Structure 1
């Protein structure tokens, strides 16, 4: 247990620290792809996936641990991921983003986290548990892309890495836009860690390395998976309600570490402060959290478990759910941001011509 506590907390703290300082927000990234036509965060996600894919399959090749992709259930992956995408817009952050923003003192994220943990628990062992078991009663063959195509997984990984490298090099060649900032108050390593604006690609590489390290650290405790948020979040609530210590594993300490790492980063950078949402935002956050918990559990993972980890393992479920999460995010963004703006603009135009 001591090993699980130490390595889980350290790995989670590293992830929370990096995500907070690098402002690695997939919700904002997916939203900006649609609204602002800005793909930088999505490209950063692809880079993190590529780094993890190479690292994890190298570890597997050396016999450090084993991985089985399992079988694919398409329908729950599509429906669950789409609902999850809608939920993260209402909640103001994805599953991991909610944990790290809670560490910044954002009360709305705590509210979203409560809804997320509650619904994930209800979907796993509560009255809605039958939905997941029924949804996964039918499968659609192997979940491994390489097995489906009948090729070595390294061929898939190599092609993906080449595509990502091309995208990243193209982006780095674009003219840099200088953003004026305040005069630095810190110097040396303190300035770099707690004050300097991190490049999203640098953040992505660090996240890819942390995601890679999570696999052997977790596997050593008998948990054969890397970074994951939904099941550990549900396990925390299940333990608090039942007192059953079997719910406490490496993943639980991982998500608690994310909170602590983000809290430390926010405090040291001067970004921590309690921010209370208004009633409407609070209700949206809780509703979004409920949708996140439902969707992530049905889809078998959140934007990290599926969108970062299972994509790196080159599984169908990972890439299908990532695409559907983005579509869900875009759908919610239209109704939450774009449509109200268009109505306001139309109303203003009518007022001018009246």
Structure 2
């Protein structure tokens, strides 16, 4: 029966990969793009999941266990997890499916995530984890506290989410549509569609998991730590429905990426590697303290309307906001040091001759006190009548460095290959400031999520996308004309 976890995980991996579904990006957009558009996709997951779980519990199909609220662990853990997913470049499920796309940085983050989660749950840090959770309250869910049916909350959330989704879909319909120039079956899923399907998968997960004796639904952190524990100890007790789920997620995302030309092994630079190490470790520690990640808390516990789920999601979001402020900045382009010098003749001319107009407007550039007889020739103040040392030369000021490299005819290139999301968008926002209205910025990138975020940024900011195509295996080019 645990193989149903593998099958459902594979479907989940396909949907997440094709929908570019990552909660990190949804929360990050609130702070970087000042939009709640993508966050609504998460609300769709929660709403669909909540209605399904209300139906399953009211009919007696499942009987969820509700965790008591441990404020310190959940608040600190959520915030640390939020910081970690910014460094790692993706949330827990996002790190699994991006590993299936061939991102070595995600592999590194995933390993550190599993190791730190295992240390917190069963290893050296388990004492600290237990101590942090020792301060707990008796509160479990909001409906239980108020003494009402969870149906009230599920229906209310579904109605609010419906109107929010309709609002943003209407706004999108009024704007120019930007799609990849490729067959329909290779085009990404709309994130709202992906959210609805993921919500249904979450509902189906509960009875399938319960049939194996595991009273839970979707989960990433504990199964990831179980994978590490089994790998290091060989104890088959760690092989369960949850471990099959996360392994299936990896398999599904790989199959989807390979079939659509979006798989390619991409090795990160040193900075990204270091961030992946620390980000992955923080993810494991934070998720263990908070009792779940963006799936366990952000999708499952929120659907049960538990205090743990909603408070954890809030502090994950605050951690994402702080992390975005600290680390998500465009690279500085440093103007190189002068390397070329003026020739002797150029140097003499450069330092000794100024225009007559400049001599009038700026007397200090010519004969200051009348002691030096420079004279004029053809409207130009000539060099003074004393000998100038011929070995004295001046350094030529280099041309200012820029991100947008000129291609000619009003076109400029931004090479964002190798930059993980959201850096292609961050760099594009910076580079487009260097060009004039009506000029084109050609962006080369290989971040899968950029196929959604870059055109959305362009349209939102009044720019025109004139070309968008896939260049090869997990490589794209988009041309944005500055508006």
Same fold (TM over 0.5): yes
Match among 318, 325, 343 for residue 334 of structure 1: 325
Change (3 A) 1:241 1:76: same
Aligned-residue offset at 1:68: 2.8
Counterpart position of 1:162: 159
After superposition, what is the alpha-carbon deviation per residue over 1:141-180, rounded to whole angstroms, capped at 9, x for unaligned?
Answer: 2211111112111112122222112211222222423344
Q: Which protein is richer in strand relative to its size? A: 2
Counterpart position of 1:12: 9
Change (3 A) 1:178 1:268: farther
> Conserved in 1, the CA contact under 8 Å of 2:180 and 2:187?
no
User: TM-score of the superposition, structure 2-length normalised?
Assistant: 0.67
Q: Kindly indicate whether residue 136 of structure 2 is the aligned counterpart of residue 145 of structure 1.
A: no
Written as runs of structure 1 = structure 2, the 5 A alignment for 1:34-49 is: 34-49=31-46
Counterpart position of 2:444: none
Q: Distance in 2 between matches of 1:64 and 1:230?
A: 25
Q: Number of paired residues?
A: 335
Counterpart position of 1:297: 288
User: TM-score of the superposition, structure 1-length normalised?
Assistant: 0.91
Q: Distance in 1 between matches of 2:67 and 2:100?
A: 35
Counterpart position of 2:258: 267
Q: Kindly indicate whether residue 122 of structure 2 is the aligned counterpart of residue 125 of structure 1.
A: yes
Aligned-residue offset at 1:199: 1.4
Match among 113, 116, 121 for residue 116 of structure 1: 113
Match among 205, 219, 237 for residue 228 of structure 2: 237
Counterpart position of 1:348: none
Q: Which runs of 5+ in 1 are unaligned?
A: 346-350
Match among 280, 299, 324 for residue 315 of structure 2: 324
> Conserved in 1, the CA contact under 8 Å of 2:72 and 2:135?
no
Could you say which structure has the larger radius of gyration? 2
Segment drifting more, 160-169 vs 301-310: 160-169
> Conserved in 2, the CA contact under 8 Å of 1:296 and 1:302?
yes
Segment drifting more, 287-296 vs 137-146: 137-146
Segment drifting more, 149-158 vs 312-321: 149-158
Q: Distance in 2 between matches of 1:182 and 1:306?
A: 34
Counterpart position of 1:93: 90
Q: Distance in 1 between matches of 2:192 and 2:180?
A: 23
Q: Distance in 1 between matches of 2:234 and 2:208?
A: 25
> Conserved in 1, the CA contact under 8 Å of 2:9 and 2:246?
yes
Q: Which protein is richer in helix relative to its size? A: 1
Written as runs of structure 1 = structure 2, the 5 A alignment for 1:16-35 is: 16-35=13-32
Counterpart position of 1:306: 297
> Conserved in 2, the CA contact under 8 Å of 1:24 and 1:41?
no
After superposition, what is the alpha-carbon deviation per residue over 1:74-113, rounded to whole angstroms, capped at 9, x for unaligned?
Answer: 1100100100000000001111000000000010000000
Counterpart position of 1:214: 205
Q: Answer 1 or 2: higher relative contact order, Cα 8 Å, separation at least 6.
A: 1
Counterpart position of 1:178: 176
Q: Which runs of 5+ in 2 are unaligned?
A: 335-398, 401-483
After superposition, what is the alpha-carbon deviation per residue over 1:104-156, rounded to whole angstroms, capped at 9, x for unaligned?
Answer: 00100000001101100111111111111112222112211111112111112
> Conserved in 1, the CA contact under 8 Å of 2:67 and 2:308?
no
> Conserved in 2, the CA contact under 8 Å of 1:40 and 1:200?
no
Aligned-residue offset at 1:38: 2.4
> Conserved in 1, the CA contact under 8 Å of 2:71 and 2:135?
no
